[in-house]
């Protein structure tokens, strides 16, 4: 374990505070707010990590620091503060972590910990490890009051990318949504609608642009109940 990681681990488990001395301010890269934005541009450490074979054992060690927030199981928290990660496609994990490290997705809480991954190999390792964790089924759900409407919206607008089980698409970098927390997903879609999530997919932005708060609640509630048995716990 390197020194930064030990420091960071102590910080994370005691206070959830930034590891002392391990970070400057997070960088800021041009994102969806800029005219020449290209989603998932083929550049940077992401491309290197995608080409490498992840070492699950080293990934498990690298994940220790992450477990302070995302939990050892990867399940995150139903209150939506920390997303569920278990069983996510390693491609999606590599992209999201690289975007956070590169300042394309703003995440000041996680940034000091994201930079404890020492190189593209370790980025591939931790992502390979997280993908092996089973997707939990006790994630946070919505109220359940408008599921028929939620299903219709999902089938009309989302299923083409996120899939009938919420399985996404590994090769296209579409995230798994099965097992994800209702509150986290609601916050993400609001951030995607308003442009706050700067690494968003422009085709998805168009789709959700005119959704009302009631639409968002219904579709996210429906999504929070999707199950993808292939990567689920207990199978």
Q: Return residues touching ligand HEC (CB under 6 A).
A: 12, 16, 65-66, 68-70, 81-83, 85, 93, 95-97, 107, 109-110, 113-114, 116-117, 126, 157-158, 160-162, 173-175, 177, 185, 187-189, 199-201, 203-204, 207-208, 219, 223
* Residue among 97 and 235 whose Cβ is closer to ligand HEC: 97
Residues 66 and 79: beta-carbon distance below 8 Å:
no
Min dist. Cβ of residue 129 to ligand HEC (A): 9
Pick between residue 93 and residue 128 the one whose CB is nearest to ligand HEC.
93
Instruction: Return the CA Rg of the chain.
Output: 17
Residue placing its CB nearer to ligand HEC in the complex, 202 or 229:
202
Taking the least distance from each CB to ligand HEC, the nearer of 116 and 121 is 116
Question: Using CB atoms within 10 A of its CB, is residue 147 exposed (0-12), middle (13-18) or buried (19+)?
Answer: middle
Do 218 and 185 meet the contact criterion of CB atoms below 8 Å apart?
A: no
Nearest approach in angstroms of CB 230 to ligand HEC is 18
* Least distance in angstroms from the C-beta of 138 to ligand HEC: 17
CB closer to ligand HEC out of 174 and 228? 174
- Specify the residue, 7 or 126, whose C-beta has the smaller distance to ligand HEC: 126
d(CA 48, CA 163): 28
CB 27, min distance to ligand HEC, A = 16
Smallest separation, CB 15 to ligand HEC (Å): 10
Among candidates 235, 191, 231, 229, which has minimal Cα distance to 85?
231
Identify the burial level of 38 via C-beta atoms within 10 angstroms of its C-beta, where 0-12 means exposed, 13-18 middle and 19 or more buried: exposed
Q: How far is the CB of 160 from ligand HEC (least distance, A)?
A: 6
Q: How far apart are the first and last CA of the chain?
A: 33
CA 148 to chain centre: 27
Rounded Cα distance, 19 and 24, in Å: 11
């Amino acid at each position: 374990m390197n020194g930064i990681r030990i420091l960071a681990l102590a910080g994370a488990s005691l206070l959830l505070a930034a590891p002392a001395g391990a970070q400057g301010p997070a960088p800021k890269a041009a994102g969806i707010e800029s005219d020449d934005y290209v989603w998932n541009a083929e550049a940077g450490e992401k491309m290197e990590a995608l080409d490498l074979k992840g070492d699950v054992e080293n990934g498990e060690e690298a994940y220790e620091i992450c477990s302070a927030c995302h939990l050892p199981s990867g399940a995150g928290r139903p209150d939506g503060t920390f997303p569920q990660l278990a069983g996510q496609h390693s491609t999606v994990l590599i992209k999201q972590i690289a975007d956070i490290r590169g300042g394309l997705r703003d995440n000041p809480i996680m940034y000091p910990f994201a930079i404890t991954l020492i190189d593209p190999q370790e980025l591939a390792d931790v992502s390979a490890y997280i993908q092996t964790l089973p997707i939990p089924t006790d994630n946070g759900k919505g109220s359940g009051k408008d599921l028929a409407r939620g299903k219709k919206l999902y089938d009309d607008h989302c299923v083409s990318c996120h899939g009938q089980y919420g399985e996404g698409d590994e090769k296209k970098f579409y995230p798994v949504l099965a097992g994800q927390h209702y509150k986290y997903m609601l916050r993400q879609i609001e951030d995607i609608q308003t442009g706050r999530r700067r690494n968003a997919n422009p085709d998805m932005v168009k789709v959700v642009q005119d959704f009302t708060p009631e639409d968002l609640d219904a579709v996210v509630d429906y999504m929070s109940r999707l199950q993808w048995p292939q990567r689920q716990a207990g199978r």
